[in-house]
Amino acid sequence: GRNQNTLCSGSLSSCGYAWLIVGQSLYVWKYDAEDDYIGAPAVLNLPPSGLPYNAQTVCVYKRQGFSTLGIIAVTPEGVVRHWSMPDRQFSDSSVDLDREVALSLTRINLQSSEGICFLLATTTCSLFLLNVNASIAPTPGKRQRLSSEITIKTIHTNARSGISGKLASAIFGEGRQSGAKKKFRLVKALVYEQSNGDLVNSRSNASGSSNSIVAKNMHILAATEHHLHSYSIKDSAKIWSCELTNIASEHFASNLWNSYDVEEYSQWHEEIKTWILDAVNIRNGALVLFA
């Protein structure tokens, strides 16, 4: 039996696979298999970590032209392990998170000639683009060998970088920095395509988008506890921010206490405290859940 104190975490992918993390072991299996499918779960070893793993930092994906799956996992500290196929040797790389913790890894559902892209987000709203460049190496007389390398691009980071940032940390300590990062605690990171000023779910037209359009229009919508932030993937820059909880409080006050007394309405408005719990892509925008 399993040790009661062993942490486990699981998730599903849209391509028909599920995975379960128990300790530092990753189990992957096909959940929408045909009736005659008799496949045992693949069991893979994750990199050592001093923190509990989260299934949201694992992606199981399929690439065009291949029937087998690929797997990519990120430790809480930022070590990236990639299996081009479950039965092949893995390759390791790393993202410098500067003591931040990985929160989620999301496939950007657009196939391009340059590889397969993933969005890595940390708990304090740092964002990185991971690009898996896969290539087939011909080996005469043997089966083809699929090799891959991962390139990493920083979209946005809250880490203190450079001499000035490290000097400030040394003078003022990590406490002040931790307080600033708490303000940017990430709830959810979504990927969307900007089109004529609208938010368009990137999954809706993934197969028909060219790489140039992807680079130009793909954005990240980051929901923190009180704000929404938009970042351009191409420019690695913040586009806009919006304080959303005050707007939500005002709507709650006007609907729950539909009063014409301005003074009373203002009092209730000030008493209502809201924060963001979750966000999802929906139609041409995003749906946000408040508490």
CATH code of the domain covering residue 31: 2.130.10.10
Torsion sign over Cα 50, 56, 57, 63: positive
State in Å, rounded, how far the first CA of the chain is from the last one.
Answer: 38
Between 46 and 270, residue with greater pLDDT: 46
Q: Is the pLDDT of residue 248 over 90?
A: no
> What pLDDT does residue 58 have?
97
Domain of residue 108 covers 8-181
Residue of 13, 46, 6, 53 lying closest to 29 (CA atoms): 13
Domain annotation covers residue 244: no
Domain annotation covers residue 43: yes
Q: Is the pLDDT of residue 161 over 70?
A: no
Look at the chain and report how many structural domains it folds into: 1
Domain annotation covers residue 58: yes
Domain annotation covers residue 254: no
Domain annotation covers residue 115: yes
Q: Is the pLDDT of residue 210 over 70?
A: no
Residue of 186, 179, 176, 174 lying closest to 101 (CA atoms): 186
What's the CA gap between 109 and 67, in Å, rounded? 17
> What would the mean pLDDT of 238-267 be, rounded to a whole number?
75
Whole-model pTM: value is 0.79
Highest mean pLDDT among 12-16, 131-135, 256-260: 12-16
| 156 neighbors 120 (Cβ within 8 angstroms) | no
